[in-house]
Every structure is written in structure tokens, then in C-alpha cells.
């Protein structure tokens, strides 16, 4: 076969395109039996009868998460079984490394990665604990005279921490974001910062994301947004943080270094508001797809900077704001159209603060417990 190019008749497992081709085939089979694919997320589908959604499906490669009537679940297994052998594993217990515990009497579901977290802690031989994931004095600067972290598997640690932070643990998201920025050339101080996150997880491995059923709460989107202006990073870029809740339960969060250098706290908060609202718009779109018969209200935004609120609600510009890129002003359009409702909250109850900076233990635990669903959202 030297010098020959072979064209495959079918995709093979392990090729770059294999998962994409399998996904197209699976979605095609599901559409054939009546499922509709979401435009917001192509891995989410619904089955409708009239105006009522009878079943929902979320796909991750060849793992399928289903919610709906039992009769439809049997139909899906039978329909896919003709060409794609499918097994019904029953009520969810474990999915993509996350454990699920359901209490029907209390009306709660809890998500946990405790098993995975403990395997990571054992892998990196963690034996000390910490009450917070990031030191208040550590500025994470890449100092030239600092020694390289040669004796620390830094990228492996960061990769493991990112998986945990993105899945179930918003409480470590900011600390992980800060150390992950230095993966290209980690110093000894960055290795110590990553170690502190592991130490914190040893103490808090048992924490879960808790979701509670509450028929008295409106199904709507609420987003807390905050910024850390000119953070301690060497490039002086601010940090955006946002918590997105549906029916008072956390469904998405971000801790992100802003792409531009802002010139004031108000500007940093305004950019952060845009980052949070973009995430909330996606969540709102998913809500409208999965619950088409419900009236989904405005996106409720909670911001602790009155200047940023004024920028979003006032179309006028001044010498202090006219330089802001037009890409951030979509907030004004959404506010004028009635998509957003922005309200001021005090800094003490700005729960997105946990996603922008290192905090002392007491306020950290207050914001953490709110985000994880461990205290009332009222």
C-alpha cells in the first residue's frame, strides 16, 4: 500500500471525525422517531405531543441522559436497538464522573464528584487541608527569579482541577482560573497555589451541588455578575464572574479573565455584566426549548456597581464611556427590549464575588453555600 491513499467506507473508532459522525447518526435516528434538536445546544433534544414536552434527551458521545415518561424511554431503546445496541440503565446514579443522589421525599437531587476528587487527591498524594482554595496574599505573578515548578506535574494537576471546577465546584473556579493561566511556564509559586486548591478539596471533597424542587418559585433566569478590576495578574486585566440560576438553583457559572484592559471599576463591571448575560441568554434559550408552554420572564441581573447599571440602562455616552467597544453595548439593546431587568444589590450579597477574587473564610463560605444550594436563596 506504499504511496496509496485509502478512503474509508465507514468511520473507525478513534479517528478525529468518529464522534462527530456517530453523533450525526444518533441524532438522525432520534429525529426519525419524532425528537426535535435544540438550536442552542445540538446535544439536547425534546419529544413533544401538542404543546407538551413528553421527554428530553441530553447526549455525550454514546452516553444518553433521558427525562420523561417511561413509555417513551422504552420506545427510544427499541428504535435505536435496531442499529445501535442500547441499554437502559434505569434511574441515574452516575453520569460522566458525577454521582447523583435523589431524595424523593425531600424533593432534592444532589450532584457530587467526591469519588473523582478523592482519586485525584490520592494520585497527587495530598495530605494537608485548607479552609479556602486561594491565599489572600498570593498574586500569582510570574516572577522571573522564581524557580520553575519542575518537580510538580503542574499541567496534570490543572487539568484535573479544571474538570472538577467546570462540573460541580464553582467554589474553586476562580482559583483554578488563576493558576491555569500559567500552564505554559509554571513557577514554584504557581505550584504552591495549585497545591492549596488540592488541600482545600481534601477538606471539602464531600460538598455537592444541591437542587430542590419548589413549586412556589417562578421558572426564570437570575444572574449575579461581578468583576475584580485590574486584578493582581501581571497584564492587569480584570476578572469577570457570574452565577446563573434557574428556579433559584445554580445551572451555570463563569470565572473568566476579560479580553480587554478596562480603565475603571465601572467599565470592568459593565464588561462582566455582558459576559454573565451572554451565559444567561443561552440558559434562557434552553428553558424556552424545554418548557415551551411556560412563560419565561425577563433575565434578572444582580449587580453591585451603580455606574455599570447606568451604562446598561442609559444610551447616552460621555467622555468616560465613549471609548468602550460597541460589542459590549448589546446590554443596552436588551434592556430597551425588555429582555433584561437589572437591579442593584449590596456587595455583601453579591454572590458572584466568589468567582472573581480570593476571599477570607467567612464571606467565602457564605457565597459558596449559596452557590452550592446549601442555604436558602431567599
Structural domains for the chain: 18-90 (3.30.310), 112-204 (no CATH), 216-371 (3.30.420.10)
Three-class secondary structure of residue 210 per DSSP: strand
Q: pLDDT at residue 345 above 80?
A: yes
Q: Residue 316: its pLDDT value, please?
A: 57
Pairing of strands 249-257, 299-303: unpaired
122, 128, 130, 133 alpha-carbon torsion, rounded to 10° = -40
**What integer pLDDT is reported at residue 120 of this predicted model?**
95
* CA dist 345 → 54, 110, 337 (Å): 39, 28, 23
Given a cut of 90, is residue 213 above it in pLDDT? no
**Measured CA distances, 267 to 117, 263, 270 (Å):** 37, 7, 5
* Alpha-carbon gap, residue 66 to 57, rounded angstroms: 5
- For the CA atoms of 15, 16, 18, 19, the dihedral, rounded to the nearest 10 degrees, stands at 140
pLDDT band at 317 (very low <50, low <70, confident <90, very high): low
Interatomic CA distance for residues 279 and 283, integer angstroms: 7
What's the average model confidence in pLDDT over 291-320?
A: 83
pLDDT at 143 over 70: no
Per-residue pLDDT, averaged over 234-256, amounts to 92
Residues pairing with 47 in the sheet = 35, 55
344 to 7, 31, 37, 131, 310: CA distances (angstroms): 60, 44, 37, 30, 10
Report the pLDDT value the prediction gives residue 315, as an integer from 0 to 100.
66
Q: Is 227 helix (H, G, I), strand (E, B) or coil?
A: strand
Q: Is the pLDDT of residue 378 over 50?
A: no
Residue 319 has pLDDT above 60, yes or no: no
Asked if 246 and 287 count as a contact pair (C-beta separation under 8 A), the reply is: yes
Report residue 1's pLDDT band, with 50, 70 and 90 as the boundaries. Answer: low
For residue range 167-197, what is the model confidence (pLDDT) as tens digits?
A: 999 999 999 999 999 888 888 888 999 999 9
Q: Which three cell numbers stand for residue 118?
A: 478523592
In angstroms, the CA 70 to CA 55 distance is 9
Compute the distance between CA of residue 279 and CA of residue 257 in angstroms, rounded to an integer: 15
Average pLDDT, the chain: 87
**What is the DSSP secondary structure assignment for residue 298, as one 8-state letter?**
P
Amino acid at each position: 500500500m506504499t504511496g496509496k491513499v485509502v478512503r474509508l467506507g465507514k468511520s473507525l473508532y478513534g479517528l478525529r471525525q468518529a464522534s462527530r459522525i456517530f453523533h450525526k447518526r444518533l441524532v438522525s435516528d432520534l429525529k426519525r422517531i419524532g425528537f426535535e434538536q435544540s438550536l442552542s445546544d445540538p446535544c439536547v433534544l425534546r419529544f413533544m405531543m401538542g404543546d407538551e414536552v413528553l421527554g428530553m434527551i441530553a447526549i455525550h458521545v454514546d452516553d444518553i441522559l433521558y427525562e420523561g415518561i417511561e413509555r417513551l424511554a422504552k420506545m427510544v431503546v427499541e428504535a435505536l436497538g435496531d442499529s445501535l445496541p442500547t441499554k437502559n440503565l434505569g434511574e441515574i446514579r452516575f453520569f460522566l464522573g458525577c454521582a447523583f443522589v435523589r431524595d424523593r421525599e425531600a424533593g432534592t437531587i444532589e450532584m457530587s464528584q467526591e469519588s473523582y476528587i478523592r482519586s485525584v487527591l490520592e494520585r497527587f498524594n495530598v495530605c494537608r487541608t485548607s479552609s479556602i482554595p486561594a491565599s489572600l496574599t498570593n498574586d500569582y505573578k510570574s516572577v522571573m527569579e522564581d524557580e520553575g515548578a519542575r518537580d510538580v506535574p503542574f499541567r496534570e494537576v490543572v487539568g484535573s482541577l479544571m474538570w472538577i471546577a467546570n462540573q460541580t465546584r464553582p467554589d474553586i473556579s476562580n482559583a483554578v482560573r488563576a493558576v491555569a493561566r500559567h500552564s505554559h511556564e509554571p513557577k514554584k509559586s504557581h505550584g504552591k497555589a495549585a497545591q492549596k486548591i488540592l488541600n482545600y478539596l481534601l477538606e471539602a471533597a464531600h460538598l455537592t451541588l444541591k437542587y430542590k424542587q419548589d413549586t412556589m418559585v417562578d421558572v426564570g433566569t437570575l444572574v449575579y455578575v461581578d468583576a475584580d478590576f485590574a486584578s493582581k495578574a501581571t497584564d492587569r486585566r480584570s476578572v469577570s464572574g457570574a452565577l446563573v440560576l434557574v428556579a433559584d438553583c445554580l445551572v451555570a457559572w463563569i470565572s473568566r479573565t476579560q479580553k480587554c484592559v478596562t480603565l475603571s471599576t465601572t467599565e470592568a463591571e459593565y464588561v462582566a455584566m455582558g459576559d454573565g448575560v451572554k451565559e444567561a441568554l443561552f440558559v434562557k434559550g434552553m428553558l424556552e426549548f424545554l418548557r415551551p408552554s411556560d412563560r419565561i420572564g425577563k433575565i434578572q441581573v444582580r449587580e453591585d456597581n451603580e455606574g455599570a447599571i447606568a451604562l446598561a440602562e442609559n444610551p447616552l455616552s460621555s467622555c468616560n464611556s465613549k471609548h468602550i467597544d460597541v460589542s459590549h453595548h448589546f446590554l443596552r439593546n436588551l434592556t430597551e427590549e425588555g429582555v433584561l431587568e437589572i437591579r442593584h444589590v449590596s456587595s455583601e450579597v453579591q454572590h458572584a464575588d466568589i468567582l472573581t477574587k480570593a476571599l477570607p473564610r467567612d464571606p467565602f463560605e457564605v457565597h459558596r453555600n449559596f452557590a452550592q444550594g446549601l442555604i436558602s436563596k431567599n
